[in-house]
A and B are shown apart, each in its own frame.
Chain A
Amino acid sequence: MTSPETGRRLRRPDFWTLAGLPGLLFVLLAFGVPMVTIVVRSLTDPSPENFQFLFTDELFRRSLLRTVYVALLVTGLSVLLGYPYAYAMARSGPVLRTWLMGALLLSFWTSLLVRTFAWGVLLSNTGVVNDLLLDLGVIDQPLPLIRNLFAVLVGMVHVLVPFAILAIYASLRGVDAELEQAAQVMGARPARAFWHVTLPLSMPGVAAGAVLVFVLSLGFYLTPALLGGPADILVSQSIVLQVQQYLDPGVGSAMAVVLLALVLAFLAIASKVVGLGRILGVTGKEGTS
């Protein structure tokens, strides 16, 4: 009767632990095994020299640097463009807010492939933008708007900015508008009230949005593959090339391991600053406005 509780616990897992086992098992088999396989193949197909090859390969090094560079640009642009949008949503009447939220959700729920395809239609040499500019006589030769870094940035920011907006919006909603009023009553001009009260208080949302956008950018494949030029490929594209074109799964796996390590290392550092729950929590809330 008086047996120590701890001993009993270890021998008999509780009901809820048992309820979680099928889920854990599934994720381990359907997701864990593939991840482990990549690591194993990177080391054994044919040998760990895959990594040696990578670090001496100029092309890979450049695509890795380019990936981080693009991710930083996309993150910066998403936050800069997303902040005023989120601010307009958080501090406006119900009509404007509904329109802004509606546009955001319409865009967010349109498939990534469709949106990327649409930017192709808009930006190509015979596309909508060039046609318009030619018709207006602004230019007499189509501008090179596609198959370059510009198009990749446009496409990626368009896809990722909603994540930043939703994260920032959530934290702005948490900042009491009365705090700003209080600051103004105490003599701060609106701009000062914003700089000294609102902006600092909304920083957790900015940080969470930035981390999420950066992490997702690192792994982007579709948008750079459709809108980018052949000269400036990113790491995900290199991985696909190795596996599908050069039929070298060992090197492809090694690249995947490097990319994965980059993502996880960044998340590990970021989680010290911003709670992971806050970063990932955004994804569960799109439906609620």
Chain B
Amino acid sequence: MFTDKSRSRGTDAPGAGLSLEGIAKHYGSVRAVDDVSLTIEPGQFVTLLGASGSGKTTLLRVIAGFLEPSAGRVLIDGRDVTAVPVHRRNIGMVFQSYALFPHLSVARNIAFPLAMRGMRKAERRELVTQALESVHLPGYEDRMPAQLSGGQRQRVALARAIVSRPSLLLMDEPLGALDRRLREVLQVEILKLSRELGLTVVNVTHDQEEAFTMSDRIALLADGKLVQYASPEEIYTRPVSDVAAGFLGEANLLRGVLTRAADGRLTLPAQDGHVEIDAATAVRSAPDAGDEVVVVVRPWSVGVERLGRDGAEPGAPCWLRGRLSAVIYAGDSQKLIVERPDGSEVVVRRSMDGQFEAAPGEEVLLTWSSRDAVVTTAG
């Protein structure tokens, strides 16, 4: 208890640890956040990822202290701060709208948290200069916020959020208002900066690419519930449900009830196709016949070829037939959309150097290895 406290108070302390225990926020009968528990280690970069209305912003506001949870506790470095008001939580925060103080110069914006902590003017100046250098805006002290571009404003906002070395840096869609190029540049800069300073960061976004690039761990939220809390790689390769699979990266979802073939293999019935299951790829318990499952096949794992004229059944363990309905060129890769006889679509990605040439309307055969698919459940 005492050691925790001293660590969060020291100015040079790296980021704090954060624990959420059974956080819930209800508005009448609406459960904006529903029983979320997770732990963030000191220095970790965690992204709350979800669609709008998933509760990610509400959760961030509970962590910041702008909202009082209906149930549960927020612990920073083991200390229960649920009842501590925002301004005593020692946090830094970055907003999508930048939220700079329009009546204060850049220097006074950045010095604001220092002034609030009772620091003397001379000391403030030095820290402000350092902070501006760390966000690559040296010499901007005397500008007013209205004179800055969007990217510059967000850099100032970032400098203001980190200048007091908060135990926790919270970011609410910080890059949402910026164009794509600038977003990518700032993603890298924010990540580098937070690593150098050892900050614990909680970032909110609906942009899966941003979540992938920046996060140590991603907390995937849907309808107020925590769907999965894991590293980006794990969520991608072992999504706990179809929701998780659909949110992180493109995915083809094949649904059905497993049956056991005569030779003992598990298969998913498919019209005009054959889908075998590798039990080792199951995310939860070992699957069995009669289980309702979702098989996740990533577009990059699917091979495609022109259908042979003879119409013979292919020997591959996993295959589907369909009609090529669209070929989309996306930079260095090619995206094929294949329409199945039942009307569903399968997406295939392939690099541009392949020899396959096909025109929309042609019948094609899709194949993949059962080891590259993931067996999960509907969430």
Contacts and interface: CB of A to CB of B under 8 A. Distances in A.
Contacts of B71: 1-2
Nearest to B80: A1
Contacts of B164: none
Contacts of B68: 5
A2 B68 CA distance: 10
8 contacts: A1-B71, A1-B73, A1-B82, A1-B83, A2-B70, A2-B71, A5-B68, A5-B70
Contacts of B70: 2, 5
Contacts of B82: 1
Interface string A5-33: 10000000000000000000000000000
Interface range on chain A: under 10, 10 to 19, 20 to 34, or 35 or more?
Answer: under 10
Interface range on chain B: under 10, 10 to 19, 20 to 34, or 35 or more?
Answer: under 10
A161 B82 CA distance: 58
Contacts of A5: 68, 70
SS class, residues of chain A in contact with chain B: loop
B165 to A, nearest CB: 28
Interface string B57-94: 00000000000101101000000001100000000000
Interface of B: 68, 70-71, 73, 82-83
Contacts of A1: 71, 73, 82-83
Nearest to B69: A1
Interface in A121-176: none
**What are the 8 tightest A-B residue pairs by CB atom distance, in nearest-first order?**
A2-B71, A2-B70, A1-B82, A1-B71, A5-B68, A5-B70, A1-B73, A1-B83
Nearest to B73: A1
Contacts of A2: 70-71
B36 to A, nearest CB: 16
A10 to B, nearest CB: 16
B84 to A, nearest CB: 13
A21 to B, nearest CB: 21
Contacts of B73: 1
A2 B82 CA distance: 11
Nearest to A2: B71
A14 to B, nearest CB: 12
A1 B22 CA distance: 13
A1 B68 CA distance: 9
B349 to A, nearest CB: 46
A2 B69 CA distance: 8
A81 to B, nearest CB: 42
Nearest to A1: B82
A264 B68 CA distance: 42
Nearest to B82: A1
A172 B73 CA distance: 55
Nearest to A4: B70
Given A2-B71, A5-B70, 6 more contacts: A1-B71, A1-B73, A1-B82, A1-B83, A2-B70, A5-B68
Nearest to B83: A1
A5 B83 CA distance: 14
A2 B71 CA distance: 6
A271 B146 CA distance: 40
